[in-house]
Structure 1
């Protein structure tokens, strides 16, 4: 009997609402074809949410789309224009090595961006080749999916495809393309670009688009653009608090990396903190510690001031009144951040209700951790399971005094010990993407073509609050080194 070839639709259901904005905001650009695309990893669960057929994506035509060699039906590839304050200095930017294929409408009716990263030169490449190396693309895949599992708003990674071509940086590296999924790629930098080089009406069109895309509740408000500012402030306050609660350090909090949606974006020089120290910096280019762990809330506030400045012409025709309204909104940020942070830190200590002294209790613990060089994640893990071994912190009088006060605090709430234990288990991850484990996975992939190390890491990271036996081996800290860990932009 003759075999019948069954053609399965991949499931692309693309729209292009961003392309309806004024031409100022984008440039049409097709991806640069690559020699020999090969699928390295595919996010099956994310593909299913998107309504895509996993089997079809794994076939040659599906891989060709993920590599940029074929354009799926309904796509309109564009590079987005934006600006940004990079380390405090304002400059014109834009998608220099990424293209938005379009917006996938999921079976649930959600609208999400599908972007190829590393897909070749664009009008905004600024002398770059527009390509990406395999290591940084796998790194973004690992970290973004770990962030998602930790419950932190983030862009996600659908796939990584190698190109069969070399990328030249400090050395010759294998090239790759990452498919990134985001609620949108609207940034503070997009608004800065409109405010600097567009008209007020073009700025208004962008703001209206952002409201329609992310904040439909703004339709019934008295001042829609002030509402936009307030909602972005709320989302960023919640996001940064979540970063701090797991010891995540973004590394490059430029305004072009602040999303209007409140998602984490750009996983170049990011990393997770081992030893608790607010001054921790991983980025190789952050010489002065601008984006250190302890500075992240304040930098977020600074970035939001830049966002507010762009919206002033829309908030009110009277410049003075607009400034007053914006200033009042910005003034809420630190209070919102501290409220989110304190709420999250309470759960990490098994605290259900609120007492005025909770902030002091939490800060005293962090102070002791800093003094004795305790590991951030493992300290809270130890508190969760009453396992006070193998850490110098736990043998100190300072900790004993703190522990007694903590137990007294837990005793002043109605919930049982089992209840607060479960709360702590669901708030304190067993595992984070430890820097040495990520590097181990990347080295095996890049140098040996062995992806099993990464696949196993991704598996244990997929449920960080499971506290399973499989995760136990990933709790151990790296061997001490005289050289501090450094990360790079990957461009």
Structure 2
């Protein structure tokens, strides 16, 4: 991992850093020019500040309040470039909806470089900063609607403890952008230790460029997996670790009811981070076959399919790395970590969600019965697990009412609750201890589509207060926040008609 900036690159003690003083470096630019195109962002007219994440800013040693200042506003809209920045857009390829799509690349994203931070360097990337050589038929811009969704969800997922890229700030402009209708432009500054994807490796494999494939693998191992460099077969070890991280990430998605919507291999992070927030969604009325992406007519990326598709994507990566790994048997062995890694983490998460402190042989059957009950009644996913923490060991229908009322089939719920209570008694569960633990793992607040839509509509009318308010709520998803109870309620009827798609 590159060292933090030297002392002489740091701002003076007590002095406020300016945008021009940011100590950018760019380890990705160490690769040959075939991996990227150097270019400048395309300015937007009259940019304005919308919001910034204090938690994300702290990861690169910045104060979120300064990000609204003119110099940072210009920098993070693409209207100016810091002296030490080396802007570039990366090339990659990928499978989209299971079909090889050929060359893709950063069609509207420009990497400014990386900044040092207390947890290591973070790359900063402008999404929506203008045309690049990889824009294909696109205009290189992002719209306010999708940018608000990405900004809020990136930070909401981080607060939920789910591996994710981060969002530093969001800015806007009244420049018109055409999608299904005329919208306005916005730019999200997003952050990650690296934005290298599965498709970055597929690009060189399908072009039969083994030298470039090896260069990229060595670069990623050197900077982000240095502990693997000494392995007997570092490329096999690399595939195994990426596969493990991917499985763990998807276990977290399933446990919180998150659906990515576009799990193409060009949207899969080599670090096991949730990457590229497009038509995502959080499960409401539970349906394992739910499709959050209106574009996904075949349901490839439904909630239930996320698990096998994640494995399929790892196989695509393994195929790309095969020339380096050596034999199909070695690649298969590396990929075999997926199912046990996913199963172990999901089992751990489900025990926590149900407030079970020990493990019993028939717990799997209880988990299956729980999701069967949710499926049969289409109960709200987030509310069920949150209210489950309030269930008392010695209770009944009256005391269970807030939870029981989520189910159409009350008798089926009562039978399940009796079984669940029997399991709790078997480990001598204590109500208050269990409640506190469950409320630390089952969020009260998630980014429901209708909440995002409310914030978007207000922002489209020039009012950005709801974006900032929603960010503040979602940064504390496990806290009660009684003043914001309405944000944790069942969605209104009109929310059922909201649709999100790949358009942005």
- Deviation, structure 1 residue 396: 2.1
1:16-415 equivalence runs, <5 A: 16-91=26-101, 92-106=103-117, 108=118, 110-197=120-207, 199-316=209-326, 322-386=327-391, 387-389=400-402, 391-393=405-407, 396-413=410-427
Give the CA deviation at 1:88: 1.0
* Counterpart for residue 3 of structure 1: none
User: Is the contact made by 1:167 and 1:174 (CA closer than 8 Å) also made in structure 2?
Assistant: yes
Shift of residue 489 of structure 1? 2.2
- Distance change >3 Å, CA 139–CA 200, structure 1 → 2: same
**Corresponding position of 1:427:** 441
Mean Cα deviation higher: 137-146 or 402-411: 402-411
Asked if 1:14 is matched to 2:24, the reply is yes
Q: Distance in 2 between matches of 1:60 and 1:185?
A: 27
Q: Alpha-carbon deviations, 1:274-313, whole Å to 9, x = none?
A: 0110010121210010000010000000000000001111
How far is 1:9 from its partner? 3.0
Q: Which residue of 2 aligns with 1:487?
A: 500
Aligned: 1:456 with 2:469: yes
Partner of 1:121, secondary structure, is coil
The alpha-carbon deviation at position 411 of structure 1 amounts to 2.0
Q: What is the Cα deviation at residue 193 of structure 1?
A: 0.5
Q: Give 3-state SS (helix, strand or coil) of 2:385's partner.
A: helix
Q: What is the alpha-carbon distance in structure 2 between the residues aligned to residue 112 and residue 409 of structure 1?
A: 45
Given that residues 284 and 488 in structure 1 are in contact (C-alpha distance below 8 angstroms), is that contact kept between their aligned partners in structure 2?
A: yes
For residues 161 and 338 of structure 2, the distance between their equivalents in structure 1, rounded to whole angstroms, comes to 21
Aligned to 1:319: none
Provide Cα deviations, 1:178-197, integer angstroms capped at 9, x if missing partner.
11111210100001012122
Give, in whole Å, the separation in 1 of the partners of 2:80 and 2:434.
53
Unpaired segments ≥5 residues, structure 1: 1-5, 317-321
**CA distance in 2: counterparts of 1:296 and 1:122, whole angstroms:** 31
Local SS of the residue matching 2:112: strand
Q: 1:133 to 1:305 in 2, by over 3 A?
A: same
Q: What does the per-residue CA deviation read over 1:88-140, in whole Å, with 9 as the maximum and x for residues that have no partner?
A: 1112100001100101112x261111000111100001021101111111110
User: Aligned in 2, Cα 1:490/1:145: closer, same or farther, shift over 3 Å?
Assistant: farther
1:55 shift after superposition:
4.8
Q: Retained in 2: the 8 A contact 1:429–1:467?
A: no
Shift in Å, 1:473: 1.4
User: How far apart, in 1, do the equivalents of 2:203 and 2:112 lie?
Assistant: 21
Per-residue CA deviation, residues 403-461 of structure 1 (Å, 9 max, x unaligned), is 12212212222663332222211111111111111111111111x21112222222211
Post-superposition shift, 1:483?
5.9
**Which piece of structure 1 moves more, 152-161 or 473-482?**
473-482
Q: Is the 8 A contact 2:449 2:495 kept in 1?
A: no
Distance verdict in 2 for CA 1:89–1:417, change over 3 Å: same
Once the two structures are superposed, what CA deviation does each residue of 1:56-84 show, in whole Å capped at 9, x if it has no partner?
43222221101111111211110110001
8 A Cα contact 2:377 2:408, kept in partner:
no
2:51 and 2:74 mapped to 1: Cα distance? 14
CA contact (8 A) 1:153 1:239 kept: yes
Cα deviation, residue 482, structure 1: 9.7
CA RMSD of aligned residues (A): 1.8
1:82 and 1:191 in contact (8 A); partners too:
yes
Q: Distance in 1 between matches of 2:240 and 2:429?
A: 35
Cα deviation, 1:193-238, whole Å, max 9, x if unaligned, reads 1212252121111111111222121023111001100100110111
Q: Is the 8 A contact 1:12 1:52 kept in 2?
A: no
Relative distance call for 1:329 and 1:60 in structure 2 (3 A) is: same
Instruction: Provide the C-alpha distance between the structure 2 equivalents of 1:273 and 1:147, rounded to a whole number of angstroms.
Output: 14
8 Å CA contact 1:32–1:68 kept in 2: the answer is yes
Q: Which residue of 2 aligns with 1:467?
A: 480
Partner of 2:4: none
Kindly tell me: are residues 484 and 260 of structure 1, through their superposed partners in 2, closer, same or farther at Cα, counting changes over 3 Å?
A: same
